[in-house]
């Protein structure tokens, strides 16, 4: 995401990124914000920089002014957890480092340069993935002439995971349509997927759930009794 504003003959561009910033509880994360300009007269070192969350009171996440941090009015929940990259400010990078990410850090952040003649702001979304993937549940939900239908379900997730089905040799099996996604009352994701399997040498199948943001995988293996396959009755 970026906003371009012009005043006089100077073009000022505040640049972030189009994709949401994804963080894991307990880790550190960088919120990108860069000031790009066509003129050397705009110096980020001399600018005031305000990182804010407008849904909080006080709204200040991190303030930089007069060549130094100024966090007297900082929201207490961010105390001691924010910093700018001082060595990069001269290169017009005013990205914010947020350490020890908490669940309450999720929200929209504003990177604000108030001393510019035209106000430019950048909104950054943080989606937080908390903890590891839970053990998926696998059950049999149907039988017909095409095979046995299995269902895999995983819940309580802060970020949408990737679900795949595999046979005993590790080959990926085609799912019966896209993974179904819903949210519970706490806003956590519940994912559910289906696959129709045919008889194999050992009739063993695995549902694998990968949460890419924290590089964590959980899987559940299930065995289907041979007599459940339709060809048994032919």
- CATH code, residues 137-233: 2.60.40.10
Tens digit of each residue's pLDDT (9 = 90 or more) over 169-219:
999 999 999 999 998 887 788 999 999 999 999 999 999 999 887 778 899
Tens digit of each residue's pLDDT (9 = 90 or more) over 131-184:
667 789 999 999 988 899 999 999 878 788 899 999 999 999 999 999 999 988
Other C-beta atoms within 10 Å of 186: how many?
Answer: 7
Kindly write down the DSSP assignment for every residue of 18-64, as one continuous string. Answer: SSPEEEETTS-EEE--EEEES-TT--GGGS-EEEE-TTSSS-EEEEE
Q: Is the bond preceding residue 211 a cis peptide, omega within 30 degrees?
A: no
Q: Position of tokens 């379900």?
A: 153
Q: pTM of the predicted model, to two decimals?
A: 0.56
Kindly write down the DSSP assignment for every residue of 195-217, as one continuous string. Answer: EEE---SS-EEEEEEEEGGGTEE
- Average per-residue pLDDT in the chain? 81
Query: 2-129 with 137-233: one CATH topology?
Result: yes
The residue extents of the domains of the chain are: 2-129, 137-233
- CATH code, residues 2-129: 2.60.40.10
Q: Which of 135, 141, 134 is nearest to 224 (CA)?
A: 141
């Amino acid at each position: 995401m970026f906003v371009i504003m012009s005043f006089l003959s100077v073009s000022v561009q505040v640049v972030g990124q189009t994709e949401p910033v994804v963080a894991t509880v307990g880790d550190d994360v960088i919120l990108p914000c860069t000031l790009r300009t066509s003129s050397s007269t705009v110096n980020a070192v001399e600018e005031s920089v305000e990182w804010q969350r407008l849904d909080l009171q006080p709204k200040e996440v991190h303030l930089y002014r007069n060549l130094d941090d100024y966090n007297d009015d900082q929201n207490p929940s961010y105390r001691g957890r924010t910093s700018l990259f001082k060595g990069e400010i001269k290169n017009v990078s005013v990205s914010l480092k947020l350490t020890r990410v908490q669940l309450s850090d999720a929200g929209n952040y504003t990177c604000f340069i108030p001393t510019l003649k035209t106000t430019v702001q950048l909104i950054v979304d943080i989606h937080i993935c908390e903890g590891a993937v839970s053990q998926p549940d696998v059950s049999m939900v149907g039988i017909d002439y095409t095979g046995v239908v299995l269902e895999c379900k995983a819940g309580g997730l802060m970020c949408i995971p990737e679900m795949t089905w595999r046979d005993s040799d590790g080959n990926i099996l085609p799912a019966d349509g896209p993974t179904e996604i819903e949210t519970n009352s706490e806003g956590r994701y519940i994912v559910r997927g289906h696959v129709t399997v045919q008889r194999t040498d050992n009739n063993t199948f695995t549902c694998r759930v990968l949460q890419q943001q924290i590089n964590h995988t959980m899987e559940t293996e299930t065995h289907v009794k041979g007599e459940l396959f339709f060809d048994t009755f032919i």
